[in-house]
Amino acid sequence: MADKWKTALHRLARGVIAGIAPTLAFGYAIFYSIFPSATFPVSGDASFVWIFFVVLTGAIVGGIQAQDLPEAIVAEFLSIPLGLAVAVLLAWSPAFAGFYLLDPSGVPFFVVHYSVLVVALGVPVVLVGAIVGQVLREWVRKDRAPRGLAR
């Protein structure tokens, strides 16, 4: 029984580690896409290429960290709502300093409303990222194994 819990906790911890990069990448990308002129890098309009690059990079890194494909896919898909939560926190950041660019109670709805496109883009991108990450992980593992045996 204790081993079962230990295994489950271990798996959960791995899933959390695998989900950190895509969650942060997604949160940042949503925040940037909503306020491109007031975040970083500063631009009048949000750059689709930049958003795609950030989300895909986070997804691939998350995919590499996961032990197997199902774990990668679960971690990646959980990163979408978690990323939204991160974006809400980032949009709230001025309120922590006592300033209000938006009404704090309206921030979650505002972020969700204006992140629809990024979320729609994110679903296939995190899926691709999970698969590419797993392929890269297997490739590195296979690449290392023979050399390890040769020594």
Rounded distance, CA 68 to CA 84, Å? 25
Per rule CB under 8 A, count of chain residues that contact another protein: 37
Are the C-beta atoms of 69 and 131 separated by less than 8 Å? yes
- Among residues 19, 28, 73, 88, the one that binds another protein under rule CB under 8 A: 28
Which of 22, 80, 14, 19 is CA-nearest to residue 55? Answer: 22
Q: Alpha carbon 2 to chain centroid distance? A: 32
> Residue 2 or residue 117: which is nearer to another protein going by CB?
117
- Among residues 10, 16, 93, 138, the one that binds another protein under rule CB under 8 A: 93
Residue type, 83: G
Q: What tokens appear for 42 in the block?
A: 């500063």
> Residue 37 or residue 105: which is nearer to another protein going by CB?
37
Are the C-beta atoms of 66 and 15 separated by less than 8 Å? yes
Question: Would you count residue 118 as binding another protein (CB under 8 A)?
Answer: no
At which residue do the structure tokens 């490739």 appear? 139
CB of 99 to another protein, least distance (A): 4
Footprint on this chain of another protein (rule: CB under 8 A): 17, 20-21, 24-25, 27-28, 31-32, 35-40, 42-45, 54, 57-58, 61, 64-65, 90-91, 93-94, 97-101, 114, 137, 140
